[in-house]
């Protein structure tokens, strides 16, 4: 396909479609086969894409206060971990 000013958008669409779907179709199929082997399709079909993302990834924010309450405060490494986590989160927010 010769790319011209008139068909450049169509060309970009075709390249993107190829790279994001066609070129990796075997990998996508293998992933889905393995995923569906672990969790049958009928069990996850009740969730929409956002709900499934939340179930897999969890919440995007870590609440250090809740995390601290839910974990054992008696271990010294725990205190260091929470301190570093709080610093890391505050640096990311800035």
Read off the pLDDT band of 94 (50, 70, 90): very low
CA 8 to chain centre: 31
Domain range summary for the chain, segments of one domain joined by +: 8-57, 64-93
Note the pLDDT of residue 11.
94
Note the pLDDT of residue 86.
72
Query: For 14-70, what is each residue's pLDDT tens digit?
Result: 999 999 889 999 999 999 999 899 888 888 889 898 888 888 887 777 676 666 666
Name the residue among 64, 66, 70 with its Cα closest to residue 92.
64
Residue 26's region, left for phi above 0, alpha for psi from -120 to 50, else beta, is alpha
Residue 6 has pLDDT above 70, yes or no: yes
Global pTM reads 0.47
- Let me know: does 92 contact 60? Beta carbons within 8 Å: no
């Amino acid at each position: 396909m010769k790319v011209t000013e008139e068909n450049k958008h169509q060309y970009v669409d075709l390249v993107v479609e190829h790279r994001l779907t066609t070129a990796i179709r075997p990998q996508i199929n293998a992933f889905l086969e393995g995923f569906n082997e672990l969790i049958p399709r009928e069990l996850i079909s009740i969730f929409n894409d956002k709900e499934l993302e939340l179930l897999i990834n969890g919440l995007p924010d870590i609440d250090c206060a809740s995390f601290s309450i839910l974990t054992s405060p008696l271990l010294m490494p725990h205190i260091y971990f929470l301190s570093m986590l709080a610093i890391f989160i505050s640096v990311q927010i800035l």
